Structure 1
């Protein structure tokens, strides 16, 4: 186990380094840079000289080649300096310190919601195949897979505004928006984020239900299940001791992608719901070509991905002893 952890740690470092290089290059691929994006936002009557444009590029370090820009960014990153956001004129570390805790406050409950709801429903649907509840769960699952999250968010906003006179967007009520942190503000956030957790987790729940149901149906038809039944093992003990442990493996293998997906993969939904998370921050950074901010967020997501994948590998070994490290 120790040798495996050491070996995987070295692989993770190499993986994160390669991803950082690719991410930095991809961010630079669109034509122009942050200065071009900034000039495009100026009013039509504003005249900017070429000397002023060159000065802006020198100020932001955009006059240097790509290799030099990457080297400065990655060396500063190793000592905890993520650079300055061109768009916000603040340190990237400060922006992430504001957004990341709120993002995790939504992401972690959403992940728990997905697995606690989807796995039992998937097991029940497989065991009670073609029952009325199985048809209902399958129908709801297909709806959740077919309709994107941001459309559910738009529908939720319309219904709450049209019929209830409220607004499900944002994490805080207006009176708590700028207020310092307190028990009342924390409770207000928990109350307001329930809709966001439901909407963001809906598609993941639907997909996990389908995977769990399909895998368990395959296992229930195996010969070892019939053998265990013939030996007199009780039905539910048989199901949870053998087929479920095998069928849950594909679900556990996706844990490495759930956390970064929930953090960055819901930019449009978070924008529609006006959530102060890293998703809209990354979207704005890419649109304005704010390379240090975008690259730092992608770097953090890369670390989360490789750590999550490592955790899912260990969980797979625990769930299915046939899998060897």
Structure 2
């Protein structure tokens, strides 16, 4: 197992190098850059100085060839943890990212745990009780969850929370705690606001995982080894949990590779609607304004999440299913 993990980590480093090149190429594909917008605003009487523009060009090599700019960017990340400078926010990119990343990871992990905790038992029940009234109800709710856009559900929950419960559901904190220092009261206020984005972001994911679990388990329940185990007198509960569920979890676990980055990047509109202090709105803003270093850092981090999620899912699959050989 350790040799397998070591090989995957080496492959991950190589893949990250290739992804970093692709990311840097992508963020430079649109014509112009953020400094072009700076120059335009200078011509319109903005307070941006020519000296500041020249300083930024020289510091980040924006007047240099592509490979020089890339080397300055990637070497700053690897050796100094410097992701560059956000021209739009007039701050270092690392300061912007780490300021929002904590809430983003908290929300993403909580949403993932919510989706798994809800979809696993419901998916098992729906498969075991196929074509029952409960199965039809669960299937109907699952299709509704897949069909309703997350931002629409966010608006509905915001209206219900404000009208019937008198609670401000926008953001992760009440106004009185938003800029307050950390305390038990602020922590409790965070948990009171956290359930809305968890439900909103996790609804579609939960509905999808329910359908995956149901389909996988139904496929296993109809195989000969299950019939043989029943014929030998094994109890139904022990049979289901010992064999079919364990094998049906394989595709369920393998979704970790794309669930993690999807929870971050796929919740951009929801974050804007709910005014969440996550990286989603920053990502959208950086792409709209061609804030190249901020956008490149986000693309790189999403790629890292994808690779990390893939490695985690592969290790879990190897532990879960003895038929999978690490070689």
Which shows bigger deviation, 296-305 or 197-206?
296-305
3-state SS of 2:145 partner:
helix
Residue aligned with 1:81, SS: coil
Match of 1:296 in 2: 297
Which deviates more from structure 2 when the two are superposed, residues 17-26 or residues 199-208? 17-26
Name the structure 1 match of 2:29: 29
Q: In the alignment, which residue of structure 2 is the partner of 1:55?
A: 54
2:113 paired residue number = 112
Distance change >3 Å, CA 43–CA 52, structure 1 → 2: closer
Q: Which runs of 5+ in 2 are unaligned?
A: none
| Secondary structure in structure 1 of the residue aligned to 2:324 | coil
Matched, 1:4 2:1: no
Cα offsets for 1:117-147 (capped at 9, x unmatched): 1011101000001111111110111111112
Which residue is equivalent to 2:226?
A: 225
Query: What is the Cα deviation at residue 50 of structure 1?
Result: 12
Displacement after TM superposition at 1:162 (Å): 4.5
- Say if 2:70 is the partner of 1:83: no
Given that 2:61 and 2:68 are in contact with CA atoms closer than 8 Å, whether structure 1 keeps it comes out as no
- 5 Å-filtered alignment, 1:186-225, equals 186-225=187-226
Which range is displaced more, 62-71 or 200-209?
62-71
Q: Which residue number corresponds to residue 15 of structure 1?
A: 15
Q: 1:184 to 1:213 in 2, by over 3 A?
A: same
Q: Is the 8 A contact 2:93 2:293 kept in 1?
A: yes
Deviation for aligned residue 1:169 = 1.1
List alignment gaps of at least 5 residues for structure 1.
Answer: none
Please give the residue correspondences for 1:248-267 in structure 2 after superposition, counting only pairs within 5 Å: 248-267=249-268
Aligned to 1:198, what secondary structure does the other structure show? helix
User: Structure 1-normalised TM-score?
Assistant: 0.93
Per the alignment, do residues 82 and 54 of structure 1 end up closer, same or farther by CA in structure 2, a change over 3 Å counting? Answer: closer
- Alpha-carbon shift at residue 53 of structure 1 (Å): 9.8
Q: Residue 176 of structure 2 aligns to a residue in which SS?
A: helix
TM-score, normalised to structure 2, is 0.92
Q: CA deviation at 1:298?
A: 2.0
* Aligned twin of 1:46: 45
CA contact under 8 A between 1:37 and 1:289: conserved in structure 2? no
- Please state if 1:94 is matched with 2:95: yes
Deviation at 1:30, TM superposition (A): 1.5
The structure, 1 or 2, with the larger RCO (C-alpha pairs under 8 Å, 6+ apart) is 1
1:232-276 per-residue CA deviation (whole Å, 9 max, x = no partner) reads 000011011111111110010111221221122211111111000
CA contact (8 A) 1:84 1:92 kept: yes
Confirm whether residue 287 of structure 1 aligns to residue 288 of structure 2.
yes
Deviations 1:18-59 (A, max 9, x none): 11111111111122211234466x599538999789737626
User: How far apart are 1:164 and its partner, in Å?
Assistant: 4.5
Instruction: Report the Cα distance in structure 1 between the residues aligned to 2:92 and 2:47, rounded to whole angstroms.
Output: 26
SS for the counterpart of 1:114 is helix
CA contact (8 A) 2:38 2:48 kept: no
- How big is the shift at 1:189? 0.8
Stretch of structure 1 that moved more, 233-242 or 85-94: 85-94
Q: Is the 8 A contact 2:168 2:174 kept in 1?
A: no
Match of 1:29, SS state, is coil
Q: Does structure 1 residue 157 correspond to structure 2 residue 149?
A: no
Alignment RMSD, CA only?
A: 2.3
User: 2:35, 2:53 within 8 Å by CA — same for their partners in 1?
Assistant: no
Change (3 A) 1:323 1:104: same
Distance, in Å, in 1 between the alignment partners of 2:51 and 2:107 is 43
Deviation at 1:229, TM superposition (A): 0.2
